[in-house]
Chain A
Amino acid sequence: MSLPEFWFLLIAVLFTGYFVLEGFDYGVGMLMPILGRGSEVRKRVVLNTIGPVWDGNEVWLLTAGGAMFAAFPEWYASLFSGFYLALLLILVGLIARACAIEWRSKINDDKWRVWCDIGIGLGSWIPALAWGLAFANIVRGVKLDAHRQIGGNLLDLLNPYALLGGLTTLLLFMLHGALFIALKTGNEVRDAAQALIRKLFVPTAVVVAAFGVWTQLAYGKGWTWIPLVLAVAGLLIAGFAATQGRDGWAFTGTALTIVGATALLFGSLFPNVLPSTIDAAFSLTVDGRAGTVSASSTHYTLVVMSWVAVAMVPVVLIYQGWTYWVFRQRLTVEQIPAPIGLPLESAPKV
Chain B
Amino acid sequence: MSVVDLARWQFGITTVYHFIFVPLTIGLAPLVAGMQTAWVITGKEHWYRLTKFFGKLFLINFALGVATGIVQEFQFGMSWSEYSRFVGDVFGAPLAMEALVAFFLESTFLGLWIFGWTRLPKKVHLATIWLVAIGVNASAYFIVAANSFMQHPVGAEYNPNTKRAELTSIWELITNNTTLAAFPHVVAGAFLTSGTFVAGIAGWWMVRKVRAGRKASDTAPVEEARTMWRPAARMGLYVVLVAAVALVFTGDIQGKLMFKQQPMKMASAESLCHTETDPDFSVLTIGTHNNCDSVNHLIEVPGVLPYLAEGKFSDVTLAGVKDLQLTYNEKYGVGDYRPNLFVTYWSFRAMIGFLAGSILLALAGFWVTRRGRVPDQKWFSWLSLIAIVTPFLGNISGWIFTEMGRQPWVVAPNPTGDQHIRMTVQQGVSGVTAGTIVTSLIVFTLLYGLLAVAWFYLMRRYVVAGPEDPAPTDNGPRMTGDAVAKLSFAY
Question: A residues bordering B, Cβ < 8 Å?
Answer: 44, 47-48, 51-56, 58-59, 61-63, 65-71, 73-74, 76-81, 84-85, 87-88, 91-92, 94-96, 98-99, 101-107, 147-149, 297-298, 300-301, 304-305, 308-309, 312-313, 316, 319-320, 323, 326-327, 329-332, 334-337, 342, 347-348, 350
Contact = CB atoms under 8 A, between A and B. Distances in A.
Contact of A66 (B81, B96, B105, B447): B96
B100 A313 contact: yes
A308 B111 contact: no
Given A76-B88, A98-B67, A334-B484, A347 B461 contact: yes
B289 to A, nearest CB: 34
Given A47-B491, A78-B81, A98-B63, A301 B73 contact: no
B132 to A, nearest CB: 11
Contact of A298 (B77, B89, B119): B89
A54 B66 CA distance: 12
B65 to A, nearest CB: 9
Interface of B: 59-60, 62-64, 66-68, 70-71, 73-74, 76-79, 81-82, 84-85, 87-93, 95-101, 103-105, 107-112, 114-116, 119-120, 159, 164, 166-168, 170, 430-432, 436, 439-440, 443, 447, 451, 454, 458, 460-462, 464-465, 482, 484-491
Contacts of B98: 66
Given A66-B99, A70-B95, A326-B120, A350 B464 contact: yes
Nearest to B170: A304
B461 to A, nearest CB: 5
B82 A95 contact: no
A70 B482 CA distance: 44
A330 B93 CA distance: 40
Given A66-B98, A98-B67, A91 B104 contact: no
A81 B80 CA distance: 8
Nearest to B488: A337
B111 A99 contact: no
Contacts of B71: 91, 95
B92 A91 contact: no
A205 to B, nearest CB: 32
B170 A91 contact: no
B443 to A, nearest CB: 6
B464 A347 contact: yes
A68 B99 CA distance: 12
A70 B439 contact: no
- Of A68, A94, A103, A148, most buried by chain B (CB within 10 Å of CB) is A103
A81 B81 contact: yes
A84 B85 contact: no
A256 to B, nearest CB: 24
